[in-house]
Amino acid sequence: MKMNDQDYYFNMKAKHKERTFFFMLNCLLLTRVQNHLESTDSAFEQEVNVYLANLLTAFANPAYIEYLRPYLSEHDIELFTRLKNSNDARLKYTIYKANAGFLLFSIGVFDSAGEQSIPLGPQFKHGHQGQMGKGQTYYHFAFSYSKRVPGIGETMTEVLEQLAKGFEKYVTILTYLRGEYFDIVKRLSEGEVYHLIRSVEASGKRLRLEKKQDEFLDAYMHWKSHHTEKAKRRVVVLAEELQGLDPSFSYKPV
């Protein structure tokens, strides 16, 4: 894989560039030792450390966040509805893994599930335990579907199982890491973090609306060309979904 500037950071003490991944891994391992949460001798526990360091490195890259956006869902019902009629195990694996990783990062690094932290809106009304349970569940589903997808190695499957079983422990590790190494989080006021999260939510809603509009137009053009009942039902379903995202949209079936 070709490296770019996002894969490096400038070490002020050493006065040269270093790999961001190794910085994240070093911070992670030091955090575990300093807080008596040392890794076990299990080979898969070591792989979890690598996964967590890669996750932190990935979120430092804006391009990764843009890549992730189409897979993320704010609400359980939205995610389950999206996947309930799909038989694509790889798609389900990818979406559950993406949402689980996003929750692990946002809870651990930004404390987005903190009941006393910031007002995140009604979707977070279940507070800390609800968000923790959601992350654990998503990792469990990702683990389950990983076993059905060709090419997903045993190591990743075991890592996902460890993350599902120990989600709360890994959130705790990232929370300690946040406090000890990520000073930028401390400098953000509650209002700044709130507006940052609302901005992300608004951007995500806009992207979902644009995608749904494209799907509706494609389905409508397909129905106009073929005039089948199946095509017509598809248009009606997408129209209802589109109206849910944009109440100003209206469509009267012909």
Same domain, yes or no: 104 and 195: no
Tell me: pLDDT of 95 over 90: yes
Same domain, yes or no: 119 and 228: no
Q: Which of the listed residues 154, 187, 220 is the one where a domain comes to its end?
A: 187
Lowest mean pLDDT: which of 76-80, 108-112, 177-181?
108-112
What would the mean pLDDT of 88-107 be, rounded to a whole number? 93
Give percent of the chain above pLDDT 70. Answer: 78
Under the banding of pLDDT at 50, 70 and 90, the label for residue 195 is low
Same domain, yes or no: 81 and 154: yes
User: Three-state SS for 205?
Assistant: helix
Closest listed residue to residue 204, CA positions, set 106, 88, 126, 125: 106
Tell me: pLDDT of 3 over 50: no
Same domain, yes or no: 181 and 57: yes
User: pTM above 0.75?
Assistant: no
- Which two tokens mark 24? 């994240």
Torsion-angle region of 19 (φ positive above 0: left; ψ -120 to 50: alpha; else: beta): beta
CA 109 – CA 112 distance, rounded (Å): 8
Torsion-angle region of 102 (φ positive above 0: left; ψ -120 to 50: alpha; else: beta): alpha
Distances (CA, A) of 114 to 103, 139, 216: 12, 20, 38
Note down the domain range covering 9.
Answer: 5-187
Under the banding of pLDDT at 50, 70 and 90, the label for residue 131 is confident
Q: Are 111 and 131 in contact (CB under 8 A)?
A: no
Same domain, yes or no: 28 and 134: yes
Lowest mean pLDDT: which of 13-17, 74-78, 147-151?
13-17
What would the mean pLDDT of 20-44 be, rounded to a whole number? 87
Q: Which of the listed residues 168, 187, 206 is the one where a domain comes to its end?
A: 187
Same domain, yes or no: 36 and 131: yes
Same domain, yes or no: 105 and 17: yes
Same domain, yes or no: 166 and 192: no
Same domain, yes or no: 119 and 237: no
Same domain, yes or no: 135 and 201: no
Same domain, yes or no: 168 and 227: no
Task: Return mean pLDDT, the chain.
Answer: 80
Number of structural domains the chain divides into = 2
Lowest mean pLDDT: which of 60-64, 99-103, 226-230?
60-64
Same domain, yes or no: 77 and 171: yes
What's the pLDDT at 254? 61
What would the mean pLDDT of 164-185 be, rounded to a whole number? 85
The contacts of residue 231 (CB under 8 Å, 6+ apart) are: 219, 222, 223
Amino acid at 8: Y
Tell me: pLDDT of 111 over 80: no
What's the pLDDT at 245? 81
Q: Which of the listed residues 169, 187, 205 is the one where a domain comes to its end?
A: 187
What's the pLDDT at 114? 47
